[in-house]
Amino acid sequence: MSLVEAAREARDKAYAPYSQFKVGAAIRAVSGAVYQGVNVENVAYPEGTCAEAGAIAAMVLGGETEIAEVAVIADSPAPVPPCGGCRQKLAEFAAREVKVTLATTRGEVLETTVGALLPGAFGAGHMTGPSDAGPLDAGPSDSGM
């Protein structure tokens, strides 16, 4: 099964009774194992969770912490990118060059990378304490700023 197919399978199980906007995600860890996630809404909107966050949680529960590839699918006219919070979550576990496939249930596909989705990402390098590095030199970003 392809990663997009795994995301599609997950999407079918999403819990989205309020927006009706179901999203599925699948992550391939460096081991090759695939972890799926779905968006889960809550009546106390916006207290739900995103599909990407669910897939990351499943990966961590599976004992892994390094993403090799990501796929996200939704029923929309154009591929839907992860929200800002999920972009940061993906950047926590994936190198900038990790491929992210964004797909629709209608067959449209857009391929990008974690780095392209979140240029200038905040990273652990920003938390090393006082240094002489400038604010844009402290982290792993190569956003060209």
Binding site for Zn(2+): what residues are annotated? 50, 83, 86
Pairing, β 67-74 against β 94-104? parallel
- Structure token digits, residue 112: 């990008």
Is residue 52 part of the annotated active site? The answer reads yes
Give CA–CA dist 66/128, Å, rounded.
21
Asked if 34 contacts 27 with a C-beta cutoff of 8 angstroms, the reply is yes
- Catalytic annotation, pick one of 5, 9, 52, 69: 52
Asked if 37 contacts 53 with a C-beta cutoff of 8 angstroms, the reply is yes
Give CA–CA dist 41/45, Å, rounded.
7
Binding site per annotation, positions: 39-45, 50, 83, 86
Sign, CA torsion 102/6/119/80: positive
Active site positions, annotated: 52
